Structure 1
Amino acid sequence: MKWQPVQQRRQECPIAGREPDLAPTELTFQNGDLVAQREHLRALVPVGHRQQAKHRERVRHAEDARAEVVSILGEEIREYPEVFTHLADIELALVKDTARERENAARNAIRVFECILPGLNAKFPAQLPISTVPGVRERAFVLTAERLGATSVPPNMRKYCAKPANGLAGDIIKAVWAAGENAQHPFTTFIRLRPALLEDLDRSRILRNNATHGSTGAPAPDELEHIRTLAYEAARHLLGLSGGRSTTSKKVN
């Protein structure tokens, strides 16, 4: 190897892998980014804690609502999961007590009947009067309801008597007719214990429709308490539940 001056060898053989130093402005910029990221992550921590706390609160309220239903109706209600869920949703709505939740409670109260009545009508099929003469079926229905102990029959319910359709009104009419023919029908006892049942059902149906489609807003607290009690009594008497305790009022402001 030919001898070369030291200075020349240094120029031709630079140290491998060495990066040029960063300018001070670049370091400042990167440090600023890191600080901003840390601040952002630090801000997210309390948000995550709040969300977890809200989730735990929702879970606790849901568990309390279901426990309240069981305490009123007994463990048997778990055998009817749809009815159980609607009743628990009513309790949950009363805890939250907002206009929107009161609307949901009105819907769920009616859904209790919508869950129960079709099965009841399948078990106790009604024999409708054969006559198609206008007014005959209506008069027969009114007489049957009064014989069972109903104090009155709402006009809105009477107009469906000629040809009961599927849906809540039609299911109620079929159940009343079937109860008039069979003393073992649960409606027989239910109407005797609650003579204003048909009026209550019609009023609850109107509240539900107003909550869903109308402009009158959420039901008033006393109306909501009324249909809550109605929903529980329906579950108890129409499903034949024997456990739990009596329904207690839950006042909402």
Structure 2
Amino acid sequence: MKDLRISLVSCTAAVGHIDENIEKLVYWTHCARDAGAQVVCFPELSLIGYSLDAESVRIPTEIDGHIRNTLQHLADQSEMTVLAGWLEGCAREKRSISHLVAVPRGKMGHYRKTHLAPPERTLYCAGNDVPVFRLASATIGIQLCYDAHFPELSSIMSANGMDILFVPHASPHGSGQEKLESWRRHLVARAYDNAIFVLACNLSGSNDTGLHFPGVALAIDPSGHVIGTMMTETGAMLTVDLKASVLENIRSHPMRHFFPNRRPELYENHSAHTVIDLRETEHPISSP
């Protein structure tokens, strides 16, 4: 990994207002560029808006190409890597909650949400791949909101060389302070156990269909230390510097880098383990 400056954007995204959401994407990308960032990350479904209404997620497949071309042009024009949320078609009739990765003059990647929250399962289809993306300066992974509650995802990504985990959210629950406190519990664990940077951002404000999002952003270093936070109701940007030396200091320390000492053979072969019942039986053994 090389030193990187990253901008995390918390913005509103009205459901179905694609052109308006693209305008916000362009505006905040230019703000991130002016701040000297090399990567800008937007929240989950930042291009289409987050909805649990079936009618709202019915969009023509023809627009996928337009979205991809627009995002790639923005990355090329700004000389930045842009991470933004969209709905992509999958093999079934439903769409996948996806996050696109546009690299200047490079290939475009996508991550499809693998763990759908219970209210999402009737509307969307889950992804079945756990990719990481190799950029010029770092290898990154993406998990979307509910995904981050499943530590196995981070282990798989870390085994494939992940340096930075981005966790874009579309979470309407609780206040901004409550959201930050929740993230400080489970996202700090993802950073500490895997010796990675973890960066999260949430939608903010109203989606115009009855949901309201507490806009927050959080940055955590590989020691589990919080290095940046932000709360907003309308839209704001958190910019942080990720130092390669911080990552290297952890990963070169034999007692602070836990990941290389894992024993996957124990974790993956569940049938090799037994449950030993030590509860009292009906006829306990009497003392002599």
- Please classify the TM superposition score into its range, dividing by the shorter chain length: under 0.3
- For the pair shown, the structure with the greater C-alpha radius of gyration is 1
Richer in helix (by share) = 1
TM-score (norm 1): 0.21
TM-score (norm 2): 0.19
